[in-house]
Amino acid sequence: MANSESLDKVVLELRRGLIVLAVLSQLGDEQYGYSLLKLLSDQGLEVDQGTLYPLLRRLETQGLLESVWKLEEARPRRYYVISAEGEKLLPKLKKEWAGIVSVMNKMLA
């Protein structure tokens, strides 16, 4: 395997789990899939459509998000927003994330 492929693979792995946290953190204001996609990429986190849409559905199934179809706009969009349960989870997640970062910083120093 070429070195660049290894890099790509591992970087993908690195980013994988963070997407959930990123998504939850951005859904204090409601977003639809495509707008969230843009919002994330504007901030430097490129996520594939094929990753994001299923993720949103999954997080809704897990009760961390809620969604509604809005048909009155230019075109139908499914809006997602963080749920009460998600709100409770988010600060804990952030704390876990901070802990992980500090562990990694020590380890990489």
48 lies in the binding site for its own copies (CB under 8 A): no
Q: Which residues pair with 77 in a beta bridge?
A: 70
Name which of its own copies, DNA, none residue 54 binds, using a CB cut-off of 5 to 8 Å depending on partner kind. Answer: DNA
Q: Where are the beta strands (DSSP E) in the chain?
A: 31-32, 65-70, 77-82
Name which of DNA, its own copies, none residue 83 binds, using a CB cut-off of 5 to 8 Å depending on partner kind. Answer: none
> Closest distance between DNA and the C-beta of residue 3, in Å?
15
User: Identity (one letter) of the amino acid at 44?
Assistant: G
The residue from 22, 47, 81, 90 that contacts DNA (CB under 7 A) is 47
Is the Cβ–Cβ distance between 56 and 33 less than 8 Å?
Answer: yes
